[in-house]
Structure 1
Amino acid sequence: MAERLVADVIVERLQAWGVDRIFGYSGDGINTVLGALRRSGSPEFVQARHEENAAFMAVGHAKYTGRPGVVLSTQGPGAVHLLNGLYDAKMDSVPVVAIIGQQSRSVLGSAYMQEIDLLNLTRDVASSFRQQVNSPEQLPLVLDRAFKAALADRAPAVVIIPHDVQQAPAPELEQEHGIVTSAPVWSPPNLVPADADLEAAAAVINDGERVAFLVGQGARGAWPQVRALAEKTGAGITTSLMGKPYVDESHPLAAGVMGHLGTSASGYVLGRCDTLVIIGSNDPWTEFYPPPGAARAVQIDVDAAAIGNRYPVEVAVTGDAAAALEGLLPLVSERSGWRSSVETAVQDWNQLAAERAATPANPVNPELAVRELGSRLPENAQVAVDVGSSVYWYARQLRLPAGVPAHLSSTLASMGCSIPYGLAAKLAAPDRPVVALSGDGAMQMAGLSELITVSRLWPRWADPRFVLMVLNNRELAEVTWEQREMEGDPRFDQSQALPDFSYAAYAELLGLQGIRVEDSAQIGAAWDAALDADRPVLIEVLSDPDIPLLPPFPAGRTKGQDMLDALEKEGPDTAHARELVETYLRQEEGLSST
C-alpha cells in the first residue's frame, strides 16, 4: 500500500469540508496535490484555461451555491494570476479558499525559480487569513482555520504549501506540546438584533413620510419581510446591483437598481425620500444616495463594521435582515406614505425602459436584445453577467423571475467574469439552464479562451443549455461613454476600437451553435432557438455602440450635456450618437415633467 502523504491529507480535509470541486490549473508546485486528487477521485478537479478564470470560477461557485469556492494554483505566475479573482471575492464578500503551491522550504530566500514571497503578495487580498504550512503537523489546522475564516468573514483565505511539505509522510497527531488538533466544522452565528435597536429604528421609520429601502445582497432570502414592511409603510424599494436578484421587480413599489446604471424610478425614490432604510447593502454609488442630512437613516447588516460606511445613519441594527425586518413589522405604523407617488415613478420607468428598447439603432439596440430575454428566461435558469455596457442593460431591462440567481463581478467590476461564473453555476446545477451576457471587450479579454472549457464540458450536462449573448459593437463602449461624460474628452480610437471578430463562427468552430443577429427583428427568434437548442449557443448581436449610457436624472441631465459637448469635439461623424443622446434626454425630461 502506498504511503499516505500530506497531499492526501489535504484532499481528505477538503472532503471533510464538503468540497465537491476544485478549480485550477496544473503546475509543478502542486503536482503532489494533483496526484492525490487523481488517487482519490474526489473532489472533482475543473481545469480552467487560466488561473484568473479558475479563481473567478471559485467565486462564482461561492455566489451561486453559498458554499466556499476552492481554487488550486502553482507558485509564481500561477499565484499572481489568482489575485484578480481573489479580490473579486474580497470586494463582493464571498468565501473562497485558495491553495497555492510554493518551492521547497530548503530553497526559499535564494531567489529560486518562480519563488515569490506569497505571504506578502496576498497580504491585502487575504487579510482575513493567510498562512504558509511549514510542517506536516500544521496542515490540518491551517486548512480548518482557512475555511472557518472564509465562511465567518465572507472573504478569501490563502493556504500556501511548499512542495516538500506536500510530499512528506502524513502526520500522526498525538496529544503533546506544540501540536494543535482541530475539527472541520463550522456553523453560522444566529445574529438576533437587539430589541432596543429595533425600537429606535421603528421610531425613525414612523417619523418619516417618504420612506425608501435600499436592498443589497445581505437581504438574500428576506424578500417576504422586505415586501411586508414596504407595503405597511408605503416605502419605495430600490436595490444595489448585487441586491437586484433578491427583490421581485414586478412589485409596484420596486423601483429597480440604484446608481449610475440604475433606473429613473430609483433616482426619484432616493432623491426625494426623507427616510432611508439600508438593508444588507454596502453599495459604493454614494452620489446617488440622498444628500447627507436630507434623510434620516437606519441600516441593518450582519456586519457591524459595515454600518454607517456609506451614509450617515442614525440607527444601527446589527443582525440578520429577515429577523430584523420581522422584528420591525409590529413596531411600525401602517400608512400609505408616498405609495402612489412611488408607484407612478415605477410605472413611468417601465414606460421609459420600453421606449428606450424600441429606439431605432444601427444595427441593433442592445437594450432590446436584453429586454427580449426577460419574457423567455426559464424559471429555473441561472444568469451570469459580465462587466461593461452589458451590465447597464441587465440592470435596466432584464426582469428576473422569482428565485433566478444572477451574479457578476460587482464591486471589483472586472471584465471576463461571465463565462467562468456561468461554468461554476452549470457545474453546481447541471440540470439547470445558464444564460450569460457579455460584451465583445470581455470576450476578447478572457471569454474566448473559457468558451473552450464550455465546449469541453457540455456533453456531460443533464441540461445542455448554456446560452451566451455577446453584444458585438467593436468598441469598449462603457469606457468610451465614461471618457465623454467624466473627462469631457472625445473618443480615443486607439484605446477604444476593438478588432472585429466573428464570435458566432468561433462557437461553431468549437462544436457549439452560433447565431448571428444583424437586425432587431431577429432577436426574439434567436433567444427562442438558443433556449430550445441541444447544445450551448452563442448569440452574436451586432449592437449599436452609440446607445448612450446615460445615468438617471437629475444627474443624467448634466451628464447628458457633458456627453453632447464631448461628441461635438469628435466631429460630424458623431451625428447618430448625438441624436441618440438627445432622444434619451427628451424621453427622461418627459418623465420629469409629469
Structure 2
Amino acid sequence: MTTTVADHVVQRLREWDVEQVFGYPGDGINGLVAAFGAAGDEPRFVQARHEEMAAFEAVGYAKFSGRVGVCAATSGPGAIHLLNGLYDAKLDHVPVVAIVGQTARSAMGGSYQQEVDLQALFKDVASEYLVEVNVPEQLPNALDRAIRTALAQRAPTAVIIPADVQELPYSPPEHEFKHVPSSPPSHPRAKVVPPDEELTRAADVLNAGEKVAILIGQGARNAVTEVREVAELTGAGVAKALLGKDVLPDDLPYVTGAIGLLGTRPSYELMRDCDTLLIVGSAFPYSQFLPPFGQARAVQIDLDARFLGLRYPTEVPLLGDAKSTLARLIPLLERKTERGWRQRVEKNVTEWADTVTRQAMLEADPINPMRIVHELSERLPDDAIVTADAGSTANWYARNLRIRGQVRGSLSGTLATMGPGVPYAIGAKFAFPDRPVIALVGDGAMQMNGLAELLTLARYRELWSDQRCVICVFHNGDLNQVTWELRAMGGAPKFEPSQSLPEVSYADFARGIGLGGIAVDDPARLGDAWTTALNADVPTVLDVRCDPEVPPIPPHATFEQLKSMTEAVLKGDPHAWHLVTQGLKTKMQELLPTRT
C-alpha cells in the first residue's frame, strides 16, 4: 500500500509522541483525515465544534502539559477560524503547531473556492516558522522544524499542505542538491546561565537592598524551590503576574498574590514601597504597577533577551533559565537579619486575606460572585487544574482563588480573549486525564462558544480515568466586565441593548446532553453545590446566579475611576442604587480592623 504525504504526516506526529490533534474536518484536509483513519486514529483526531475551539484546546493542552499542542483545519474558512486561538498562543508564549489545508496547486491563483492567501494570513501569528509544503520531499523537515521551533521559541507555527499534495505518494528527501533532510524527533534540553561577573553584579544589587520585592511569571515555573530560597534569604515579598499565579502557593505568608488591575492590595503596596526589584520569568506589561522609576534598583532574569529591560529600567539583566540562574545566584546572596520589611509584607498579606474573605461573604442579589470562588478555594483538590475565561470572572480568579498544593491554573493572559475557558479545560483533561479540572466561565463566554463545546466534553469524557470536570458559570445576564469598564473609564451608564444577555439555563442544557447540571441561586447552598460537583462521576455544569452589581474594584482604584463610576450613576444607570450599595459595602471591608 502506497504511503501518502498525509500518511507520513500522521506517522511523524506519532514519532514526536503527539497523542491527539484538535481539529475540525473539511475537504481541504480530506487526505489528512483519511490518514488518521488509516492509522487507527493514532494520534487521536479530537473533533471540536469549531476551529477556534480546536486551537484553544491545543493551547490549553500545551499550557498545562508543557508539550506541543497540535491543531488542524481545512483551507479558507477553517484556517481563518484558527487565528484567535493561535494569537492566544503567540501572546502567551505557548508551543502550538497548526496543520492547515490549502486549495489544490492546480487551482491556486484562479480565484477558486475557499482560496485564501494563507501565507499572508498566518504571516504575523506564525512569524517564527511558516511553510507551505508543495512537494513530498519537503517532509519531514517542514513538520519537524515547525515542532522544534514551536518548542524552542514557545510560539505557534504553521504548516500549510495543499489538498492535492496530501494525497501524493510520499518520497523522502534525497542526498542531493536542493533537498533538505531532517533528523529523528528529539527533545534536547540545556541549562542557560549568565556569566559569573553578571551574577556577582546582580547579587550586589540584591544584597544592598533593604526592601526587596520579587515579581514572578510563568517563566519561573521550573524554579519554585529556588524562588522560595531567594525570598527567604532576601526577606522579600513575592507578587505574581497573572500567568504566574500557579507558580507559588498562596499559603506562603510572604506571597502577596496577583499584581496589576486584577491584583491585590499587598502586591500594590509591595511594589509601591520596595527599594529593590527582582523580576523572574515575567513580561508583565503594566509598568504603572511596578515601583516608580528611580525608586528601585532592578535585576531581571529571562530566557528571552527580547524581554530583558522591556518593562522597567533594569540595572542587571540576566539572560538565562530561571532555575539554573537562581541556583548560581543563591550562593552569592547574604541572608538579611533585619526582617522588618518581611514582617510588614506578611502583615499586609494576613490583613488582605481577612478583607477578601469579608468581601466574599457580603450579601448580594442573589449570590456574591466573589463567594463562588471563595467556596471553591475552601474545597479545591490539591491536584486540580483551574481555567478561567476573560471578563469579570478573571478578576475573581486572580484575587479570590487561593492556589495550594500542586494546583495549576491559567487563562488567556495577554490576548485576554473571551472563549478559552471551556476548551482550555478540555485540553487540560487530555493532558491529565487523571486530574480534576475546573473552568470558571462567565455567561457571556458560555453563550459565545462554551455551550457548544460542552458537546465536545460530553463526547470524550469516557476517555478520562477521572471524569471530574466542573464548568462553573457565573450567571448574571450581563457582559459584566465591559459594563464596569463603561462605568469606570468613561462615566457611562450601562447600555442594556449591548450588555444584557438572553436568558438560558446552563444546568438544563448540560443535563440534556448527558452531563451533570446543578443550578444554585441561594448562597447557603453554594458550598454544598461545589462539594457535589467536585465529587461527581460525570462532568458537571454548576450554574450559579450571581449579582452583576458587585464591583471588580481594584484595591488601588484611582480617584478618576471612582469619579467616573459616580458620573455613570448620576447619568441614570439602570441599577444605580444597588450598584452604589454593593460598591460601598465591598470597599468598606478594606477599612475594617483585621482580626488578630
- State the TM bucket, normalised to the shorter chain: over 0.9
1:85-104 correspondence runs (5 A):
85-104=85-104
- Cα displacement string for residues 292-329 of structure 1 (whole angstroms, at most 9, x for unaligned residues): 22211111011111111111111101111122222222
**Match status 1:471 vs 2:474:** yes
Partner AA of 2:39 in structure 1: S
Q: Alpha-carbon deviation of 1:572?
A: 7.0
The separation in 2 between residues aligned to 1:425 and 1:573, in whole angstroms, is: 38
C-alpha distance in 2 between matches for 1:58 and 1:498: 29
1:261-317 residue CA offsets vs partner (Å, 9 max, x unmatched): 111111110111111111000011222111222211111011111111111111101
Alpha-carbon separation, structure 2, partners of 1:573 and 1:475: 12
Question: Shift of residue 413 of structure 1?
Answer: 0.8
Alignment partners' CA distance in 1, 2:97 and 2:301: 28
1:250 paired with 2:289, answer: no
SS in structure 2 at match of 1:338: helix
Which residue, 437, 441, 444 being the options, matches 2:440?
437
Cα distance in structure 1, aligned partners of 2:460 and 2:278: 44
Aligned to 1:378: 381
1:583 equivalent among 557, 562, 585: 585
Give the letter for the 1:438 counterpart. Answer: V
Distance 2:150 2:342 in 1: 41
Give the whole-Å Cα distance in 2 for the aligned partners of 1:360 and 1:453: 36
Separation (CA, whole Å) in 2 of partners of 1:195 and 1:413? 39
**Aligned mates of 1:394, 1:571 — CA distance in 2:** 27
- Structure 2: state its 5+ residue gaps: none
The CA deviation at 1:557 is 5.0
Partner of 1:33 in structure 2? Answer: 32
Q: Distance in 2 between matches of 1:462 and 1:423?
A: 14
Q: Which amino acid letter does the alignment assign opposite residue 30 of structure 1?
A: I
Give the match's secondary structure for 1:588: coil
Q: Contact 1:214–1:237 (CA<8 Å) still a contact in 2? A: yes
Alignment match, 1:318: 319
Cα shift readout 1:440-498 (whole Å, capped 9, x = no counterpart): 01100110000011111113321121111100000011111111111221111111111
Q: What's 1:456 paired with?
A: 459
Distance in 1 (alpha carbons) for counterparts of 2:139 and 2:219: 33
Is residue 151 of structure 1 aligned with residue 151 of structure 2?
yes
Aligned to 1:7: 6
Equivalent residue of 2:193, what SS? coil
Q: Distance in 2 between matches of 1:178 and 1:105?
A: 21
C-alpha distance in structure 2 between counterparts of 1:194 and 1:337, whole Å: 33
Contact map agreement 2:217 2:244 (CA 8 A) in 1: yes
| Equivalent residues, number | 591
1:591 deviates by 7.4
Tell me which residue corresponds to 2:310: 309
Q: What is the CA–CA distance in structure 1 between the aligned matches of 2:99 and 2:525, rounded to whole Å? A: 46
Q: What displacement does 1:590 show?
A: 4.8
Q: Secondary structure at the match of 2:503?
A: coil
Note closer, same or farther for the CA distance 1:205–1:170 as it changes in structure 2 (3 Å cut): same
Give 1:556 deviation, angstroms: 4.5
AA of the residue aligned to 1:567 = V
Whole-angstrom CA distance in 1 between matches of 2:483 and 2:58: 31
Q: Does 1:236 align with 2:252?
A: no
Aligned to 1:500: 503
The offset of 1:351, in angstroms, is 1.0
Residue type matched to 1:562 in 2? S
Q: Which amino acid in structure 2 is aligned with residue 551 of structure 1?
A: P
Residues 219, 302 of structure 2: 8 Å contact kept: yes
The answer on 1:200 being equivalent to 2:198 is: no
What is the rounded CA distance, in whole Å, between the counterparts of 1:390 and 1:529 in structure 2? 22
The one-letter amino acid of 1:165's match is V
More off after superposition, 292-301 vs 111-120: 292-301
1:407-556 matches, cutoff 5 A: 407-553=410-556, 555-556=557-558
Q: Which moved more, 1:185-194 or 1:557-566?
A: 557-566
TM, length-normalised to structure 1: 0.97
1:107–1:376 CA distance, 2 compared to 1 (3 A): same
Off by >3 Å, runs of 4+ in structure 1: 555-558, 589-592
Residues 374-427 of structure 1, C-alpha deviations (whole Å, 9 max, x = no match) = 121112221111111111111111112222111111111111101111111112
2:565 to 544, 563, 587: 563
SS in 2 for 1:220: helix
Paired residues of 2:493 and 2:574 also in contact (CA < 8 A) = no
2:170 paired with 1:170: yes
CA contact 1:193–1:323 (8 Å) conserved in 2: no
Alpha-carbon offset, residue 337 of structure 1 = 5.3
Per the alignment, residue 574 of structure 1 pairs with 576
TM-score, normalised with respect to structure 2: 0.97
Aligned-residue CA RMSD (Å): 1.5
Per the TM alignment, residue 583 of structure 1 is displaced from its structure 2 partner at its CA by 2.3
Q: 1:126 to 1:337 in 2, by over 3 A?
A: farther
The corresponding residue for 2:44 is 44
Q: Distance in 2 between matches of 1:562 and 1:587?
A: 21
- Judged with a 3 Å threshold, the aligned counterparts in structure 2 of structure 1 residues 200 and 441 are, in CA distance, closer, same or farther, namely same
Contact conserved, 1:550 with 1:556, CA < 8 A, in 2?
Answer: no
Q: Distance in 2 between matches of 1:285 and 1:521?
A: 38
Secondary structure of 2:590's match? Answer: helix
Structure 1 residues 571 and 138: alpha-carbon distance in aligned structure 2, compared to 1, 3 A threshold: closer
